[in-house]
């Protein structure tokens, strides 16, 4: 049980720290408007069109920081704060996600690996909290030690 905490607590803290940094940086640069007034969606469309990727759609997705590129559906999903905002943060996120579409066009190897692993990672992230709780329950002393005291068979 002790080792379980040694593994889980640092992983949880690192995850929370990373998420806080991403959210904080996005929030900071969301307050700075771009000089050209382009929204995230306009930026993404411009980059795609300049690279002859006219067949890739750009869709507004629900949530915050849920932006992604889906190579199977050939869709750039931009979260609501990115899709319609003209902030520097929105343009940066839109350009980043659109960059994945360019990687797909160019046959970038790590994107192929990522595309293969995403469904597996999604299962893990959905099941993760349940696995942690199940692990905690099964590691309780009541499940590890036998409730009866063993009988001694000394014959001597």
Q: Are residues 47 and 95 in the same domain?
A: yes
Confidence of residue 4 (pLDDT cuts 50, 70, 90): low
What is the pTM assigned to this prediction?
0.72
Q: Quick one: pLDDT at residue 150?
A: 58
Domain that holds residue 137: 108-143
As a whole number of angstroms, the distance between CA 60 and CA 72 comes to 17
> What letter would DSSP give residue 35?
S
Residues 86 and 36 in one domain: yes
Closest CA to 48 of 85, 107, 94, 115: 94
Task: Tell me the pLDDT band of 132, cut-offs 50, 70 and 90.
Answer: confident
Q: What percent of the chain has pLDDT over 70?
A: 86
Inside any domain, residue 3: no
Same domain, 91 and 121: no
Contacts of 94 (CB under 8 A, 6+ apart): 40, 41, 43, 44, 47, 67, 76, 78, 82, 83
Distances in whole angstroms, Cα of residue 30 to Cα of each of 23, 37, 54, 63, 81: 10, 13, 28, 15, 9
Give tens-digit pLDDT for 21-52: 999 999 999 999 999 999 999 999 999 999 99
**Do the domain assignments include residue 57?**
yes
* Same-domain status, 116 and 69: no
Is 20 among the domain residues? no
CB atoms closer than 10 angstroms to residue 125: 9
Number of domains the chain contains: 2
- Does 7 reside within a domain? no
Same-domain check for residues 37 and 100: yes
Which pLDDT does position 152 carry in this prediction? 57
Residue 4 lies in a domain: no
Question: Is 50 annotated in the active site?
Answer: no
Q: Which of 46, 50, 80, 97 is catalytic?
A: 97
């Amino acid at each position: 049980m002790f080792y379980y905490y040694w593994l889980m607590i640092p992983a949880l803290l690192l995850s929370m720290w990373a998420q806080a940094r991403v959210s904080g940086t996005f929030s900071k640069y969301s307050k700075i408007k771009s000089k050209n007034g382009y929204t995230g969606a306009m930026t993404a469309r411009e980059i795609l069109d300049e690279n002859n990727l006219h067949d890739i759609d750009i869709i507004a997705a629900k949530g915050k920081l849920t932006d992604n590129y889906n190579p199977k559906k050939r869709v750039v999903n931009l979260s609501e704060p990115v899709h319609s905002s003209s902030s520097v943060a929105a343009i940066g996120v839109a350009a980043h996600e659109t960059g994945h579409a360019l990687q797909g066009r160019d046959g970038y190897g790590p994107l192929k690996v990522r595309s293969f692993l995403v469904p597996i990672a999604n299962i893990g992230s959905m099941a993760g909290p349940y696995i942690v709780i199940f692990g905690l329950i099964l590691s309780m002393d009541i499940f590890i030690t036998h409730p009866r005291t063993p009988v001694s068979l000394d014959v001597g």
